[in-house]
Amino acid sequence: MDRQGKVSGVEQAIRSYYEEAQVAERLVEAVLYSVNAGGKRIRPLFFLEMVEALGQTLTQAHFQVAASVEMIHTGSLIHDDLPAMDNDDYRRGRLTNHKQFDEATAILAGDSLFLDPFGLIARADFPAEIRINLVQELSDSSGTYGMVAGQTLDMMSEGKLIDLESLQTIHANKTGKLLTFSFVAAGLVAEVSTDVLTKLRQVGELVGLAFQVRDDILDLTADFEDLGKTPQKDLLAEKSTYPALLGLVESQQFLNHTLDQVQNLLKEIAEKCPFQAKQVGQLIESLRLNG
């Protein structure tokens, strides 16, 4: 299946979940407003590409898992944009959820997108043990031990000088954990060995690191048209970023070195199990600034 087909499958899985029945129409409207805003769908794409690379044929259950991680991500963007957080008016080139609706509705839409993915995974046609493992992994990646913790540390660090190790801790959780889920989840549904699952987790962690370094560079160098949101927000909020700590050129070199490490790990995985790395490798390469 080509990449656009995968994206369409993920979006349809989300819409199907919310169109089954509606208790509060305005809530669903707000949820789908942000879901339908577009985006790269990088997290579900990594999951689906990895599933295929590990020899699995994609089914509706795979799309439901892919949809679950995109729902969590979308909910986090709604909350990130709120006045109490990043206070942004635009996301993906159009009004943020709280500007299109209102602050209370945006909070509730984010709440739905944080909670509903677990029900979606519970419906997926996988053995119970796999579904339980997926739920645990997504919870750990998203909540107190992952994304939400990283977001808290990020807010606490605003206006402060922090070192590189502290910055990496923030982003390993804020950005890295949810990206790591995509790779670990693919290993779980493909039932790979413990050794391969460990390497998939390492791949995800490095991809998460690279993704954040890239985002920091683009926040500094890209304009609104390219970003779809207000540029240089990190600079205005006095947030520590990789360019601020390392310099712009060094950050670009760090990004490329991190992606090289990912490609080497994919080769190691291919030595341990049947693994077709081409499509995944291309998606990795797209994260380079000249990708």
Inter-residue contact 47 to 186 (CB < 8 Å): yes
Residue 273, pLDDT score:
93
Report pLDDT for 222: 72
Q: How far is the C-alpha of 65 from the C-alpha of 51, rounded, in Å?
A: 11
Give the pLDDT of residue 212: 93
110 CB-near residues (< 8 Å, 6+ apart)? 75, 76, 78, 79, 97
Q: Are 216 and 241 in contact (CB under 8 A)?
A: yes
Give the chain's domains with CATH numbers. 3-285 (1.10.600.10)
pLDDT score recorded for residue 238: 59
Q: What is the mean pLDDT of each run of 10 residues along the chain (291 residues)?
A: 94 92 90 92 97 96 98 96 92 92 97 97 97 98 96 88 91 95 98 97 96 90 61 58 90 96 96 92 91 48
Q: Please compute Rg for the chain using Cα positions.
A: 18
| Phi (first) and psi of residue 91, to 5 degrees | -145, 130
Distance of CA 229 to the CA centre of its chain: 17
| Tokens found for residue 199 | 């390497």
What pLDDT was estimated at residue 219?
Answer: 86
Exposed, middle or buried: residue 22 (CB in 10 Å: 0-12, 13-18, 19+)?
exposed
Structure tokens at 160: 């402060």
| Contact present, 158 and 237 (Cβ < 8 Å) | yes
Q: What is the pLDDT of residues 77-134, one digit of tens each?
A: 999 999 999 899 998 889 999 999 999 999 999 999 999 999 999 999 999 999 999 9
Task: Report the pLDDT value the prediction gives residue 39, as an integer from 0 to 100.
Answer: 86
